[in-house]
Amino acid sequence: MPPVPPALLEAAAPVSGLDAHAFLRTLATVLIVAAGTSVLFQRLRLPVVFGYLAAGMIVGPYTSIPLVADRGIVQALSELGVILLMYSIGLEFRLRRVAQVASTAGIAALVETGLMFGVGVLAADLLGWSPFERLVAGAGIAISSTTIIARTFGELRVGGRVAELTFGILIVEDLIAIVLLATLGALAAGGGLGVETIGLTLVRLGTFLAGLLAAGLLLVPRTMRRVVALGRDETTLVAAVGLCFGVALLALAFGYSVALGAFVAGSLVAESGESERVEALVGPVRDVFVAIFFVSVGMLLDPTVVAAHWRTILLFTALVMAGKALFASAGAFLAGAGLRTAVQTGLSLAQIGEFSFLIASLGVAAGARAELFTIAVAVSAITTLATPMLVQRASGVAAWVDRKLPHRLQTFAALYGTWLARLRTASPAEPPRRRRLVRRLVLDSALLAVIILGAFAERGRFAPLVHGWVDLAPERGEQLVLLGALALTLPVVITMFLTARHLAGDLALQALPQPARGVDAARAPRRALTATVHLGLTTLALAVPLLLLQPMLPRYSTPVIVAAFLLLLVGAVWTAARDLEGHARAGAEVIATALAQELGRNTVEHDLTRTMERMVVMLPGLGEPVLMTVAPGSRCDGRTLGEVDLRGVTGATVLALTTDAEGARRSFVPTATDRLEAGDILAVAGAPDALAHAREMIEVGTAPPLPIAHRGSRAIPRSEEP
């Protein structure tokens, strides 16, 4: 056998001190233990992610089990898991899809994440944490877990409008999380949390993303299409992963996280239209390294830290579960989802996951307290275990919420979704005016942020000038500067309030137009819609700059200001809902009378379709009520309206009931004690998804559905039912 050349021996030697055998031993230990724990947790019907965390605790330094993995090697491999995970998320993130969900899920996501960020910052402030740690806490509890929700929905077979809205919100949340990661990473690298640092960081981040997207959109999509056209999976996989790591390295070179670069790389590949094929190839590789990432997270879990900070863990757990359920439900409802769908969506989002780990680990690496990471993992574990239970009970919770609402708010909730549906389908009458109002509102919000930022940035410079004019101590001079800035914000806030009202009024007129002459039958519904949209616009325009600047503002200032505006506007909505209740009752009586007159004619065929179409024109504020016939053996057959609880279960409301009475048909406005029988005709109003669920309850029975020749042309076709 010829001797081995010295050059080959030298090439085979360990490079940079890396022990190949130690690397292999660590990799084998991690994967074997992770495989065993994942199988065990899957058999126990628990999330596999917790199996990986348990594996990390087993091979970590905080347990006495004699299976210890090299932490440095595991951390290096976990970095690959982070990159591939963010790349996969980017593959599902197309710019066109963001535009599609912006009007509904985008609004809900902004409301939820903004308020949760503020709650997290305030809680960390109460605990005495530093300003940077407050930002990490707020960002950590603001983002839900796409991985956990996807697996939970798959196991429980959740679909329809709830799944569509939930995943739409998660798309926007993922984008917000990327921005938060990049911003926190830049702040940590900059070594400060001053106003100038934050402003400069955001400008640099925006410039970097704009340049990267502009260049990437020109090169990446067409390149990936040509690579895929070659027809070799091996080449496609190597090109896709190489592009992922290349853009991640580019982001790192500019001072940003590799997660940001990987996410942008995935979104650029998604624009090629080949994301599904690339995802199928990258998926197995990603799953291996993502498992190692969660194992590395488990290695950092110290049970003694959990025991020492259990109160803080319970506090943030309660904030995540209650806050996300409440804020996501409110945001989804304001965006046009029915009450039932909004509550189910909010309960589905009541957890944190992989992004919280990344944010917490970034904060700890930047000098935040070490226990912050353990707190994030513990909160994620508790909220994730509760997620399946919350999803399963969401429908019952939605029904309970509806029952507990005052009757006027029940009516408002049933009709609000129909108004927004009309708003989306109606063509804008004056788009230039609308655009001007939107620009003015955005500029007012930005001006408010600039005034606050400027006051805090320059208070030290203006305080000596104030001291020269008025004999005040330096700290009193700074307080006077801040009071002057507060006085400057008052005109801006007033202008913002009025602009939001004008914009809300225009949108309400678009959804419910005012007739050129005659009685304005939509006045009460239009007023309720105006008040609600005004509430949402003002809260967003005012809360966004205040929540972003909360770490630099005096304690409790933001919650007090936002709460004061909410109380004022909620009062306006309550008054408008009171007027709407009377309008809905009068409209229901008109519908019942019209149906009775049609059925009272001595004709064989009753043209109820035409009657309902006239009602839609005469009563635009009641949505587009449709007729449904109670089927034999349905969930409504033989039960009272109170027992059925149609509004609580579906979100739809019964306006009129037509039934047989002593051999003759009569129509009336029903009450909760009225009993439904097979063959009864109901006039039902509500949002499209609410009507679909109501049709399932009313028209689907043990016997074939009754023929409904009189079903309105605006009813939901069978093909659209979930």
Helix (H, G, I), strand (E, B) or coil at 637: coil
Residues 398-419, mean pLDDT to the nearest whole number: 76
Res. 258: pLDDT tops 50: yes
Residues 494-504, mean pLDDT to the nearest whole number: 85
- Higher-confidence residue of 264 and 588: namely 264
Using pLDDT thresholds of 50, 70 and 90, give the confidence band for residue 478: low
Q: What is the pLDDT of residue 10?
A: 47
Tell me the β-bridge partners of 665.
660
Residues 702-720, mean pLDDT to the nearest whole number: 39
Q: What is the pLDDT of residue 56?
A: 86
Q: Which two tokens stand for residue 416?
A: 């609000």
pLDDT, one tens digit per residue, over 15-51 is 445 567 788 888 888 889 889 998 998 888 777 877 8
User: Cα separation of 391 and 175, whole Å?
Assistant: 24
Q: Which of 260, 241, 41 is nearest to 151 (CA)?
A: 41
Per mean pLDDT, which range of 243-247, 343-347, 418-422, 604-608 is the poorest?
A: 604-608
- Cβ atoms of residues 661 and 598 within 8 Å: no
Q: What is the pLDDT of residue 626?
A: 78
Q: What is the pLDDT of residue 713?
A: 34
- Cβ atoms of residues 349 and 149 within 8 Å: yes
Reported pTM: 0.74
- Cβ atoms of residues 243 and 220 within 8 Å: yes
User: Cα separation of 442 and 210, whole Å?
Assistant: 20
* Distances in whole angstroms, Cα of residue 689 to Cα of each of 342, 609, 643: 11, 21, 21
Res. 711: pLDDT tops 50: no
Instruction: Report the amino acid identity of residue 305.
Output: V
Sequence-distant (≥ 6) Cβ neighbours of residue 519 within 8 angstroms: none
Phi-psi region of 645 (alpha: psi -120 to 50; beta: other; left: phi over 0): left
Instruction: Report the amino acid identity of residue 583.
Output: H
Q: Which two tokens stand for residue 451?
A: 């005034």
Residue 655, phi then psi, degrees to nearest 5: -90, -40
Q: Which two tokens stand for residue 663?
A: 């051999």
Q: How many CA atoms lie within 13 A of 639 on its CB side?
A: 16
Pairing of strands 664-668, 681-685: unpaired
pLDDT, one tens digit per residue, over 151-199 is 677 667 777 778 778 878 887 887 788 778 777 776 666 555 555 556 6
Mean of all residue pLDDT scores within the chain: 76
Report long-range pairs for 193-198 (Cβ below 8 Å, ≥24 apart).
193/131, 193/132, 193/135, 193/551, 194/457, 195/453, 195/456, 195/457, 195/552, 196/457, 198/453
Tell me the β-bridge partners of 656.
683
- Cβ atoms of residues 420 and 342 within 8 Å: no
Q: What is the pLDDT of residue 329?
A: 87
DSSP one-letter string for 553-581: SPTTHHHHHHHHHHHHHHHHHHHHHHHHH
Q: What is the pLDDT of residue 8?
A: 40
Sequence-distant (≥ 6) Cβ neighbours of residue 218 within 8 angstroms: none
Residue 628, phi then psi, degrees to nearest 5: -135, 145
Per mean pLDDT, which range of 309-313, 324-328, 366-370 is the poorest?
A: 366-370
Question: How many angstroms from the chain centroid is the CA of residue 671?
Answer: 37
User: Cα separation of 422 and 417, whole Å?
Assistant: 9
- Higher-confidence residue of 53 and 718: namely 53
Using pLDDT thresholds of 50, 70 and 90, give the confidence band for residue 549: low
- Cβ atoms of residues 615 and 684 within 8 Å: no
Instruction: Report the amino acid identity of residue 125.
Output: D
- Higher-confidence residue of 10 and 286: namely 286
- Cβ atoms of residues 624 and 714 within 8 Å: yes
Report long-range pairs for 493-496 (Cβ below 8 Å, ≥24 apart).
493/448, 493/542, 495/440, 495/444, 496/441, 496/444, 496/445, 496/448, 496/538, 496/541, 496/542
Res. 409: pLDDT tops 80: no
User: Cα separation of 525 and 587, whole Å?
Assistant: 11
End-to-end alpha-carbon separation of the chain, Å?
72
pLDDT, one tens digit per residue, over 197-209 is 566 666 777 788 7
- Largest Cα separation within the chain, whole Å, is 111
Res. 377: pLDDT tops 90: no
- Which of the given ranges, 2-6, 20-24, 337-341, 499-503, has the highest pLDDT on average? 499-503
Look-up: residue for tokens 């409440």? 326
Q: What is the pLDDT of residue 707?
A: 43
Phi-psi region of 232 (alpha: psi -120 to 50; beta: other; left: phi over 0): beta
Q: Which of 581, 577, 495, 572 is nearest to 534 (CA)?
A: 572
- Cβ atoms of residues 423 and 623 within 8 Å: no
Helix (H, G, I), strand (E, B) or coil at 668: strand
User: Cα separation of 300 and 327, whole Å?
Assistant: 31
| R_g over Cα of the chain | 30
Residue 216, phi then psi, degrees to nearest 5: -65, -40
User: Cα separation of 293 and 183, whole Å?
Assistant: 22
pLDDT, one tens digit per residue, over 133-150 is 888 888 888 888 877 787
Res. 318: pLDDT tops 90: yes
Domains of the chain are 71-404 (1.20.1530.20), 407-577 (no CATH), 625-720 (3.30.70.1450)
For residue 621, the 8-state DSSP code is G
Pairing of strands 653-661, 664-668: antiparallel
- Cβ atoms of residues 659 and 618 within 8 Å: no
- For 655, the enclosing helix (H) or strand (E) is strand 653-661
- For 661, the enclosing helix (H) or strand (E) is strand 653-661
- Higher-confidence residue of 485 and 603: namely 485
pLDDT, one tens digit per residue, over 417-428 is 778 777 777 665
Sequence-distant (≥ 6) Cβ neighbours of residue 279 within 8 angstroms: 88, 91, 92
Whole-number percent of the chain with pLDDT over 90:
2
Q: What is the pLDDT of residue 493?
A: 81
Q: Which two tokens stand for residue 38?
A: 């994942």
CA angle 273, 276, 279 (to 5 degrees): 125
pLDDT, one tens digit per residue, over 562-587 is 666 667 667 766 777 777 777 777 77
Per mean pLDDT, which range of 446-450, 656-660, 701-705 is the poorest?
A: 701-705
Helix (H, G, I), strand (E, B) or coil at 156: helix
Q: What is the pLDDT of residue 590?
A: 74
- For 656, the enclosing helix (H) or strand (E) is strand 653-661
- Cβ atoms of residues 358 and 259 within 8 Å: yes
Tell me the β-bridge partners of 626.
684
Q: What is the pLDDT of residue 30?
A: 87
Residue 473, phi then psi, degrees to nearest 5: -65, 155
Residues 607-613, mean pLDDT to the nearest whole number: 67
Using pLDDT thresholds of 50, 70 and 90, give the confidence band for residue 314: very high
CB neighbours of residue 298 within 10 Å? 25
pLDDT, one tens digit per residue, over 681-706 is 888 877 777 778 788 888 876 544 44
- For 140, the enclosing helix (H) or strand (E) is helix 131-140
Please state the length of the chain: 722
Helix (H, G, I), strand (E, B) or coil at 477: helix
For residue 640, the 8-state DSSP code is B
